[in-house]
Structure 1
Amino acid sequence: MKTMLLALIMVASPVALAETVLVEPGPGHMFVGDEFNARSAVEVLYQDRPCKLPVVNAKDMREYTTTAIAIQVKACWGRTLGGGVLRVFEDGSIKPAQENAYVVASVDKTGNAVVTKSIYDKNRYEPCTRKYQKGQWCQKGQD
């Protein structure tokens, strides 16, 4: 009985419902601890959602979404041997990127996310001073 209750609590806990994603760094989601709405991210590489495209290696790929394209498209992503990622779109186009260019975030079922891993050290950045960069971060001494 106790085991069943513990299993039920674990399944119902918010931690069990969290999803790990890679997102492009941006204002409000660049440094470890930053909290943001995952729906506002331009690129999201889902770690746990399977690829739904009819491609040969779909079983080794995961779902990818982007709001950088005007229309909703199906896409997937997969890791390369050299530390990169390939984004594969339903039209057959392929776009490479470096995995470490993205930050890792944990997203709850309501879309609230927290950055859990980032190559960006907040101590090396400061708010940008140029008007066109409002809300962005620049490396200290380079703005």
Structure 2
Amino acid sequence: MKKILLALALIGFNAQAEDVYVFPGYDDVGNEMPKKEIIYTLYTSRPCPLPIANQKNLKLADIYNLQRPSKGCWGIALEPTKSQVVVIGEYGSIASDLNLTNFARAKINGSGAYIIQGPAMSPEQYRANVKRYQDSLR
């Protein structure tokens, strides 16, 4: 009986879609993004697995520069638009020239497909962040 409950729990966990950001962005909302085109997958809810400073404030990233992804961590940079992203690779490489306006928001379904939901950050969200920052200076 315990094995059956465990199996059902695992099936239920895998059936849930997971939210991610993928780079490069992809405009084909509702369709699957080809995995071979993905350079970065930024997980929105998985914690950073690397032993680095401020690990608790970072999330898991997959970096596709080899046949299999390497693990990394990502976080939002400390700048007013909240669009700048920093990705740290498992060997300490840093990519700091990434912007959420260039990422797509996707869901990974139970079969592992990346289904595009829209932009990770819309131009409207970006402008609202800029306005909020400008208003805070007044």
- TM-score tier, shorter chain, comes to 0.5 to 0.7
Segments of structure 2 that go 5 or more residues without pairing to the other structure are 1-7, 124-138
Aligned to 2:63: 66
RMSD: 2.9
Residues 42-81 of structure 1 show CA distances to partners (whole Å, capped at 9, x for unaligned) of 2211111110010111111111112224675331111113
Large movers: runs of 4+ above 6 Å: none
Structure 1 residues 49-64: aligned runs within 5 Å: 49-64=46-61
Name 1:107's counterpart in structure 2.
108
Q: Residue 17 of structure 1 aligns with which residue?
A: 16
TM-score, L = length of structure 1: 0.62
Per-residue CA distance 1:87-130 (angstroms, 9 max, x = gap): 0112222111111110000111211221112259xxxxxxxxxx
TM-score, normalised by the number of residues in structure 2: 0.64
Q: Counterpart of 2:92?
A: 92
Q: Which amino acid aligns with 1:76?
A: C
Fraction of identical pairs, as percent: 30
Kept after mapping to 1: 8 A contact 2:24/2:39: no
